[in-house]
């Protein structure tokens, strides 16, 4: 059941160099054999105001669930984003997030755990144990992508922090720095961006803390240096550029719930049978496709996660 796909896509040499370079700079690979060439050139080309129609998909792959899904074009993954701290249009994050400083990066950990404190990313993520995870991502706005992430199971991060038995939820915050994030001047959301998971959801093997995608470190617009990915939930649960992790006894009040509780719930499980008050969730537009496709319950991960919600009314607990 645990998805662990190695080498499931072709890495270009400069991408390999870029990631290895990053990992080494983060202090985990002492063997300098593969490194050398700094690969700023392979960092993303930004400013991609992409016409959706021009987006194409590349290469088939096995996604670990007996379904052949095509990975979404890397230009779309990096050019069509939701990251409201950098603006509300889909091309704003790629344009405005380039100057975000992600190294060094400190993460505050507090609440019901034995190891609270201020951590560096490399204290939390074992860069020698990164895994490839190809996941569908379904935005609540009814579009979707397939993204080859690189990261570790969130459970591995959480184990290091040793939550106590009082910890029933884990809560995350994104950086909120008006000097670096032009979107903060707009008060759509009460910043910082806040998200959370029930502890059993957080410990589920499908839930990852991502640090890269398509063989490279995360682009800033995708949530560098580390962001949450919960593939059976709507994309907004995947909080980006995390600076705070708290272990809580009570369900946290997250950003989208706070903004419109009748539209966005805490669970946010992908559910074709629970329409958003203003649109249907029955179908979705896979970026790069012409035709809409049916949205799958739990985004197609029901076999793995449905048991987390047995006995719950998922229309009420949306």
DSSP character string of 89-153: STTHHHHHSTT---SS-EEEEEESBS--EEEEHHHHS-TTS-EEEEEEEE-TTSEEEEEEEEEEE
H or E stretch covering 75? helix 74-79
User: Is 122 or 284 the residue whose CB approaches ligand MTE more closely?
Assistant: 284
Quick check: 82 binds ligand MTE (CB under 6 A)?
Answer: yes
At a CB cut-off of 8 Å and minimum separation 6, what does 58 contact?
Answer: 70, 71, 73, 74
The 10 Å CB-count burial string (b at 16+, else e) for 145-175 is: bbbbbbbbbbebbbeebebeeebebbbbbbb
Tokens describing residue 35? 């490194």
Nearer to Mo ion, 82 or 220 (CB): 82
Tokens 């706005």 belong to residue: 141
By CB under 6 A, residue 238 contacts ligand MTE: yes
Name the minimum Å distance from CB 55 to ligand MTE. Answer: 13
Residue nearest to ligand MTE (CB): 235
Binding test (CB under 6 A) with ligand MTE, winner from 236, 264, 266, 267:
236
Alpha-carbon distance of 208 to 203, in angstroms, equals 9
Question: Alpha carbon of 46 to those of 40, 56, 212: distances in Å?
Answer: 13, 17, 16
Q: Does 80 help bind Mo ion (rule: CB under 5 A)?
A: no
Q: Which of residues 154-213 bind ligand MTE (CB under 6 A)?
A: 174, 193
Q: Which of Mo ion, ligand MTE, none binds 81 (CB below 5-8 Å, type-dependent)?
A: ligand MTE
Q: Which is nearer to ligand MTE, 217 or 240 (CB)?
A: 240
Which uninterrupted H or E stretch holds 242? strand 242-248
Q: Does 299 bind ligand MTE (CB under 6 A)?
A: no
Per CB under 6 A, the segment of 49-57, 159-167, 230-238, 245-253 that binds ligand MTE is 230-238
Beta-bridge partner residues of 69: 61
Q: Does 139 bind Mo ion (CB under 5 A)?
A: yes
String marking each residue 230-249 x if it binds Mo ion according to CB under 5 A: -----xx-------------
Of the candidate spans 45-53, 81-89, 115-123, 199-207, the one that interacts with ligand MTE by CB under 6 A turns out to be: 81-89
> Which residues of the chain form contacts with ligand MTE (CB under 6 A)?
81-85, 139, 174, 193, 222-223, 235-236, 238-240
> Which residues of the chain form contacts with Mo ion (CB under 5 A)?
82, 139, 235-236
């Amino acid at each position: 059941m645990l998805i662990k796909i190695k080498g499931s896509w072709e890495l270009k040499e400069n991408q390999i160099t870029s990631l290895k370079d990053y990992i080494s700079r983060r202090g985990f690979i002492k063997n300098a054999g593969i490194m050398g060439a700094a690969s700023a050139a392979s960092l993303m080309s930004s400013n991609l105001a992409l016409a959706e129609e021009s987006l194409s998909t590349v290469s088939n792959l096995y996604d670990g669930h007996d379904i052949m899904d095509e990975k979404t074009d890397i230009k779309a993954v990096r050019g069509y984003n939701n990251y409201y701290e950098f603006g509300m249009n889909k091309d704003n994050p790629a344009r405005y997030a380039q100057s975000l400083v992600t190294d060094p990066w400190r993460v505050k950990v507090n609440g019901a755990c034995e190891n609270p404190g201020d951590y560096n990313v490399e204290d939390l993520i074992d860069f020698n144990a990164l895994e490839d995870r190809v996941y569908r991502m379904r935005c609540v706005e009814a579009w979707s992508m397939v993204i080859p992430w690189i990261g570790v199971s969130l459970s591995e991060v959480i184990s290091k922090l040793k939550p106590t038995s009082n910890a029933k939820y884990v809560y995350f915050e994104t950086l909120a720095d008006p000097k670096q994030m032009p979107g903060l001047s707009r008060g759509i959301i009460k910043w910082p961006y806040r998200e959370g998971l029930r502890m059993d959801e957080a410990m589920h093997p499908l839930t990852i803390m991502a640090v890269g995608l398509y063989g490279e470190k995360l682009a800033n617009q995708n949530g560098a240096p580390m962001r949450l990915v919960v593939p059976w939930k709507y994309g907004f649960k995947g909080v980006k550029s995390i600076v705070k992790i708290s272990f809580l006894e009570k369900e946290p009040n997250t950003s989208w719930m706070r903004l419109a509780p009748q539209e966005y719930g805490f669970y946010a499980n992908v559910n074709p049978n629970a329409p958003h008050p203003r649109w249907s969730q029955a179908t979705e537009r896979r970026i790069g496709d012409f035709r809409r496709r049916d949205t799958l319950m739990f985004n197609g991960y029901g076999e793995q996660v449905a048991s987390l919600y047995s006995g719950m009314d998922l229309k009420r607990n949306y």
